[in-house]
Amino acid sequence: GLNFIDLMVRQGNIDNPPKTPLVPGFECSGIVEALGDSVKGFEIGDRVMAFVNYNAWAEVVCTPVEFVYKIPDDMSFSEAAAFPMNFVTAYMMLFEVANLREGMSVLVHSAGGGVGQAVAQLCSTIPNVTVFGTASSFKHEAIKNSVTHLFDRNADYVQEVKRISTDGVDIVLDCLCGENTGKGLSLLKPLGTYILYGSSNMVTGETKSFFSFAKSWWQVEKVNPIKLYEENKVIAGFSLLNLLFKQNRGGLIKGVMDKLLNLYNNKKIKPVVDSLWALEEVKEAMQRIHDRGNIGKLILDVEKAPTPLMANDSTETSEAGEEE
């Protein structure tokens, strides 16, 4: 799976970037080829998906057994590679951090991306949840049925949301950071939860730019704890990779994956795959995410041969929903 965090790794916009040379990638799917001596519950030949602490973009991947999950029989490998990061992130933010319940409202940015689509699907499993989404206007036709109210990402969404819901929303999921932080907090109802889960605005042009990243944070309105207390608002952060690889919460994630796979088997959720790319096309695939051209998840397929057409223009090819 190709994620926005991979672009941040490439540009060095993460805390303690690893030393090169490195193999990027944090999630994958495939077939078990070998097992450690004490591994139980898996056999050679099993179809699995896994979290990996780097090194996922490879033909052979090694990861501890606690990060590995069996793929349901009717899930394809490309869907499985699109599943773990997006759905676990979306589920944990909605249900573990923000305590989503019937009748609540949610604002999600980048509604057409992998996490945005996972959020929309999971919200639809709870009765009467209103989802406000922002996305580039060219994506609206493809994703309009997945959210309740859809706004252009460059529009004044604060006024649009308040026009529909005068007292704001219960949950704001913000992957943009920067000036959107103040806007998101202003939209929260009392007892609402604002969650920062990524910083896609940190990824700037083609060059690594620490200064634009710093400027983005500088635009964040300084959060006043007294104001939070007066207004009854919750501000939270969420990093799945830190939870998995630094804070040893693999057992908690396993419980979440069990619930998600149950939802998948009951046909309540389904990963949206934007397009498949050969390893040689990783530059073009990354550019497509950078340009926010994707609807759903981009997948690197080690068995796929490069497509001359795709390599020419990463943003115009592979319309939404193209699968194997």
CA angle 158, 130, 152 (to 5 degrees): 40
Given the structure tokens 């690197």, which residue do they identify? 300
The CA distances from residue 34 to 43, 44, 46, 81, 318, in Å, are 8, 6, 10, 19, 35
Q: Evaluate whether 71 touches 80 at the Cβ level (below 8 Å).
A: yes
Confidence bin at 17 (pLDDT 50/70/90): confident
Mean predicted lDDT score pLDDT of the chain: 88
Select from 4, 41, 1, 46 the least CA-distant residue to 202. 4
Confidence bin at 307 (pLDDT 50/70/90): confident
State the average pLDDT over residues 103-128. 95
What local confidence, expressed as pLDDT, does residue 8 receive?
Answer: 84
State the average pLDDT over residues 134-139. 91
The pLDDT tens digits of the residues spanning 59-77 come to 999 999 999 999 999 999 9
Region of poorest pLDDT, from 55-59, 68-72, 309-313: 309-313
Q: Evaluate whether 81 touches 275 at the Cβ level (below 8 Å).
A: no
Give CA–CA dist 175/218, Å, rounded. 16
What local confidence, expressed as pLDDT, does residue 76 receive?
Answer: 97
Give CA–CA dist 97/101, Å, rounded. 12
Give CA–CA dist 271/307, Å, rounded. 23
Give CA–CA dist 79/74, Å, rounded. 10
All domains of the chain in start order, with CATH: 4-84+245-300 (3.90.180.10), 86-241 (3.40.50.720)
Residue 179 has pLDDT above 50, yes or no: yes
Long-range Cβ pairs for the range 281-284 (8 Å, 24+): 281/306, 281/307, 281/310, 281/311, 282/2, 282/57, 284/310, 284/311, 284/314
Residue 212 has pLDDT above 70, yes or no: no
State the average pLDDT over residues 142-168. 93
pTM: 0.89
What local confidence, expressed as pLDDT, does residue 291 receive?
Answer: 86
